[in-house]
Amino acid sequence: MKIIHTADWHLGKRLNGHSFLEDQRHVLTQFVHDMAEEQPDLIVIAGDIYDTAHPNKSVVTLFEETIQQLNLNMKIPIVMIHGNHDSRERLSYGASWFDQSQLYIRTALDTFFEPILFDDVALYTLPFFTVAEAREYLDEHVESYEEAIKILVTRIKSQLDKTKKNILVGHFTLNGAPKSDSERDLTIGTIEAVSPKYLEGFDGVLLGHIHHPFTLNYSHIFYSGSILQYSFSEANQAKGYRMITFNQAGEMIQIFKKLVPQHELEVIEGEYDDVINGRFERKSNYSYFHFKLRNMHHITEPMQKLKQLYPNTLALTLEVFVSSNIVHPSTHIKQLQPMEIINTFYEMHTDTPLSDIQREQLEGLIEQQREGN
């Protein structure tokens, strides 16, 4: 059996006001084309289909067109769960009807105990939930997300059919999996990460939420990662989906398949003059850029000037570095006293040190701050 594992489409995502909708359309067109070639037995979408609970009409249309091609036109069964970005109510609308075309949308905790069967594979879906929702459903005093997972898995272990491949589909953070800037916290004031030991009993675990596809090192637990780079902390991360099969010994075999974006995200650090004159390495003039530049305090409207050359510039940061002729290069800024940092910054921009009067006034302000006045 061939299973395609994808997640974190985040349809409708915006970064610094820029819409990724056309980029998402481009990459989903690739995905549909790949599915026509791969001819999988099943597609699993492990949450965060949308980026917000209230996607606009264009975003919903892109989702519906993609699912129609995959499920109705190509007859590929699809199992999807909602993530922390999705609206459970919006995603589950018409779910019982869609079951008839093998589009299985699971958004409730009780469906965890109703596996979806495909030949010798049983899929157990665990859509996103809050600790409060778990506490109410389990009718137990649950303190954390991990504790809820532990109870749920314990309750279902006796139900697992050992003659089948039992696969868990979930949307949460596993211990050791770092989040990127575009991933919201699952819960507030509780521990969200889950230890892998509480997932024992499943032959495979297919997860959503973490955008890096290679953040884990397990033989049977995987994140598919997101389909696009959605924050500059994800620049240089590979994006795509996983193809899951089983060998004759029943072991899970996975291959990561890349998707090629229209525009990659690039973080460029350097001198303003070098960038404005094109003296820097880049993948394309049309990448989504975050420039971190030095020596541009004398430039008026630098963002506008950069966008004339690099129209997809999304962020600009003034980088201030401690000059080696002021502080020894091995000195870390965290090791400096407040007055040293202020004096260094002032001297870098004025070529003169603080006067005695300025120092006295600043020291007074710092002392007031320390005393909480």
Q: Could you tell me if 302 and 216 lie in one domain?
A: no
What pLDDT does 6 receive? 97
Residues 56, 329: Cα–Cα separation, whole Å: 51
Q: Check whether 268 has a pLDDT greater than 60.
A: yes
Q: How big is the chain, counted in residues?
A: 373
Q: Which amino acid is located at 140 in the chain?
A: E
**Nearest Cα residue to 342 out of 355, 325, 330, 329:** 355
Task: Assess contact for 34 and 72: CB atoms under 8 A.
Answer: no
What pLDDT does 87 receive? 83
Q: Which amino acid is located at 149 in the chain?
A: I
Q: Give the model confidence (pLDDT) of 107-146 as tens digits.
A: 999 999 999 999 899 999 999 999 999 999 998 888 889 9
**pLDDT band (50, 70, 90) for residue 346:** confident
Tally of domains within the chain: 2
CB hemisphere CA count around 153 (13 angstroms): 21
More confident residue, 180 or 259: 259
What pLDDT does 183 receive? 57
Where is the domain boundary, 219, 243, 258? 258
Q: Which pTM does this prediction carry? A: 0.81
* Helix, strand, coil % in the chain, rounded to nearest 5: 35, 20, 45
Q: Check whether 64 has a pLDDT greater than 60.
A: yes
Q: Could you tell me if 240 and 163 lie in one domain?
A: yes
Interstrand relation of 116-118 and 121-126 (parallel, antiparallel or unpaired): antiparallel
Q: Could you tell me if 39 and 176 lie in one domain?
A: yes
Residues 26, 120: Cα–Cα separation, whole Å: 35
Q: Which residues pair with 105 in a beta bridge?
A: 80
What pLDDT does 330 receive? 46
Of 64-73, 150-159, 172-181, the poorest mean pLDDT is in: 172-181
Q: Could you tell me if 207 and 287 lie in one domain?
A: no
Q: CA torsion sign, 141 to 143 to 148 to 150?
A: negative
Where is the domain boundary, 209, 230, 258? 258
Domain encompassing residue 109: 3-258
CA 255-122-35 angle, to 5 degrees, is 40
More confident residue, 179 or 55: 55
Contacts from 89-92 at CB under 8 Å and sequence distance 24+?
90/50, 90/53, 90/54, 90/55, 91/49, 91/50
Residues 308, 100: Cα–Cα separation, whole Å: 52
What pLDDT does 333 receive? 56
Q: Could you tell me if 220 and 287 lie in one domain?
A: no
CA distances from 216 to 104, 235, 337 (A): 27, 18, 40
Q: Could you tell me if 296 and 230 lie in one domain?
A: no
Q: Could you tell me if 99 and 52 lie in one domain?
A: yes
DSSP 293: E
Q: Could you tell me if 223 and 290 lie in one domain?
A: no
Q: Could you tell me if 203 and 318 lie in one domain?
A: no
Residues 221, 7: Cα–Cα separation, whole Å: 14
Is residue 39 left, alpha or beta, with left meaning phi > 0 and alpha meaning psi from -120 to 50? left
Where is the domain boundary, 203, 234, 258? 258
Q: Check whether 13 has a pLDDT greater than 90.
A: yes
Q: Could you tell me if 159 and 241 lie in one domain?
A: yes
Q: Could you tell me if 249 and 285 lie in one domain?
A: no
Q: Could you tell me if 213 and 327 lie in one domain?
A: no
Interstrand relation of 288-294 and 265-271 (parallel, antiparallel or unpaired): parallel
